[in-house]
Amino acid sequence: MSNIYRNKKYVLLFLLPAFLFLVVYLYYPFLVNIYGSFRQIKNLGTYGTKWNEPFYDNYVKLVTDPVVWTSLKNTVLMILATIVGQVGIALLLSLLVDNIERGTQFFRTVYFFPIVISATALGLLFNLIFLYDKGMLNQFLELLGKTTLTDWKGEKLAIFTMMLPVVWQYVGFYFVILETGLNNISQELYESAAIDGATRFQRVIYISIPLLRNVICTCLTLGVTGALKVFDLPWTMFPKGMPLKETFLTGTYMYYQTMEAKNVDYGATLAVLIVVLGVVLSRLTRRVFKESEDF
């Protein structure tokens, strides 16, 4: 046996660059960010001129700021939309595609395609679809006889309009993962069930879904943590939380405070909130969607 596998020096040598990279570009900035959340910082790239008074002022503001609560509520809605819309629809599609004889590859490509388009481009595309005047959707409705224009980005429909493209974009991602999971289920199980007289629906309920449990759990964990990071598409479609700061997510609100409102220290405080939320939710999802060793 070679010494190269026993000697831990080589292992450390290979681990060190990635570790250093994370320390320099992730952990150190995060610590600086926490420090910055207690300072008065007007411009990015500085540590500010003085401490906030009291130094925890931003954290008090965090609790009392109604927009923070709006953004948290929207983030929770986004998580639900991810679970139901992204993973749910992806599961349905993958089960359907798994039951067809031909064209699986075609559907994989078609459903996965939105993933490769940049979120900003998709945002601009959906802006045109949802445009108030001459938007694609309103023109269709006009053809169907509707006489008034619908403000898809107005107060009543803004959240729906924001979440629809996000859900649509990632369905294909989970579809491919679930479809791969379905392919790993032995055909013999289905054949045995068929001989025993199980219908297609029963095979899905009693074989496919139970054996997909671990893959579904992985998808849900990815979906929930991913929902916390959604930024570019909502920001492109709803800059500054338009209308009336109703469409802010935690990420877009942090960006707004930092880049638009020039309240950098408060943006840093929101970043701390996002990290804490991410850690708590990822622990929670891991516990709730714990993978079973039985499968």
Partner 1 sequence: MKMKKLTAVLMAATMGLTIYGCGSAAPAEAPAEAPAATESEAPAAEAPAAETTEAAGPVEITVTTTFAGEDSNAQNYKDAVAGWEAATGNTVSDTSATSDETFKTRIITDFETGSEPDVLFFFNGADANDFVNAGKVVSIDDIRAEFPEYASNMNDDLIAASPADGVKYAVPVNGYWEAMFVNTKVLEDAGVAMPGADYTWDQFLADCQKIKDAGYAPIAAALGNIPHYWWEFAIYNQQTPADHLNIPGAADDATGSQWVAGLEDIKALYEAGFFPDNTLSATDDETFAMFTDDKAAFLLDGSWKVGGIVGSCQSDPDDPSTIDADKLSHFDVTYFPGKGNRKTTDLVGGLSMGYYITTKAWEDPAKKAAAVSFVEYMTSDEVVPLFAQHTASALKNAPKVDESQFNALQVKAMDMMSGVTSLTGAVQDLFNGDCRVSTFDGMPDIVVGNVSAADAVQEGIDVYNAQ
Residue 48 found at the interface with partner 1 (CB under 8 A): no
- Select the residue interacting with partner 1 from 12, 28, 46, 284 (CB under 8 A): 46
Residue 83 found at the interface with partner 1 (CB under 8 A): no
Residue 64 found at the interface with partner 1 (CB under 8 A): no
The SS3 call for residue 153 is: coil
Tell the smallest beta-carbon distance from residue 283 to partner 1 (Å). 33
Q: What angle do CA 116, 233, 218 make, to 5 degrees?
A: 60
Reported as type and span, the H/E element at residue 50 is strand 50-51
- Select the residue interacting with partner 1 from 52, 86, 263, 269 (CB under 8 A): 263
Residue 15 found at the interface with partner 1 (CB under 8 A): no
Q: Which two tokens stand for residue 114?
A: 């939105």
- Return the number of other C-beta atoms located less than 10 Å from residue 94's C-beta: 28
89-98 helix and 158-183 helix, angle to the nearest 10 degrees: 40
Going by C-alpha positions, the residue among 98, 106, 107 that lies closest to residue 182 is: 98
Which residues does 218 contact at the CB level (< 8 Å), separation at least 6?
177, 291
- Select the residue interacting with partner 1 from 57, 65, 142, 151 (CB under 8 A): 151
Cα separation, 48 vs 38, whole angstroms: 10
Binding mask 156-195 for partner 1 (x = CB under 8 A): --x-------------------------------------
Binding residues among 89-148 for partner 1 as defined by CB under 8 A: 131-133
Name the residue nearer to partner 1 (CB basis): 151 or 291: 151
Residue 14 found at the interface with partner 1 (CB under 8 A): yes
Tell the smallest beta-carbon distance from residue 290 to partner 1 (Å). 36
Binding site for partner 1 (CB under 8 A): 2-4, 10, 13-14, 17, 42-46, 131-133, 149, 151, 153-155, 158, 239-240, 242-245, 259-263
